[in-house]
Chain A
Amino acid sequence: EAQVTQNPRYLITVTGKKLTVTCSQNMNHEYMSWYRQDPGLGLRQIYYSMNVEVTDKGDVPEGYKVSRKEKRNFPLILESPSPNQTSLYFCASRHRGASYEQYFGPGTRLTVT
């Protein structure tokens, strides 16, 4: 089954404790992206990657890191999480040549206390 998976689905952590949210897709998509969803703000792009070893900042990259060492994986790293990073996070992917249609993962609910 073609899908984008994220782990964990739910995470409660404390300020400053490094964490990684994993994202994996099995559709051989070149393009992957991370978004956060906050009430009243919709979905905002954090980082995106057009292919292996190619990443770029989105609209709200501060406080986040990403890496793309393999085509299928695109982890999101919070080196020192803060309460303002409490949010719902989505990973997405699509083929390079396709329209802008992206496939989204199920989301990761992160709470930073």
Chain B
Amino acid sequence: DQQVKQNSPSLSVQEGRISILNCDYTNSMFDYFLWYKKYPAEGPTFLISISSIKDKNEDGRFTVFLNKSAKHLSLHIVPSQPGDSAVYFCAAGGTSYGKLTFGQGTILTVHP
């Protein structure tokens, strides 16, 4: 049972435009959500997070939106840059101490 789903395996965007990556979850006990970015041959690195008491968190070009009623979160990257090309994982926590549940990942490609 996939409790965190990223239904788009890949996304292609032009440099300078907005990238929107989506994530859906099923477990209402999740109360903390994160996005990780992964380059080839490297481990995932933390990008941005949001607590369930908020509906938006912004950090520079990256904004995460949370819609609790729809059990949906999204990551917006504006403007997109070629260096943003990577695999993006969403993750959720809160059902038990320290445990994170990850989505399948979305490959983002930003074309110059």
Contacts and interface: CB of A to CB of B under 8 A. Distances in A.
Interface of A: 4, 31, 33, 35, 40-45, 48, 50, 58-59, 90, 92, 94, 96, 99-107
A5 B66 CA distance: 33
Contacts of B100: 33, 45, 100, 102
B20 to A, nearest CB: 19
Chain A, interface SS category:
strand
A31 B93 CA distance: 14
Given A100-B91, A101-B34, A43 B102 contact: yes
A102 B47 CA distance: 11
Contacts of B36: 104
Nearest to B9: A40
Contact of A42 (B41, B49, B99, B102): B102
A100 B43 contact: no
A49 to B, nearest CB: 9
B99 A45 contact: yes
A101 B46 contact: yes
Given A41-B104, A42-B105, A99-B49, A104 B98 contact: no
Nearest to B33: A100
Given A42-B89, A106-B41, A99 B99 contact: no
B103 A100 contact: no
Interface string B9-44: 100000000000000000000001010100001111
Contacts of B93: 100
Contacts of A101: 34, 46, 49
Interface in B43-74: 43-46, 49
Contacts of B45: 104
Nearest to A96: B98
Given A41-B104, A100-B32, A101-B49, A50 B98 contact: yes
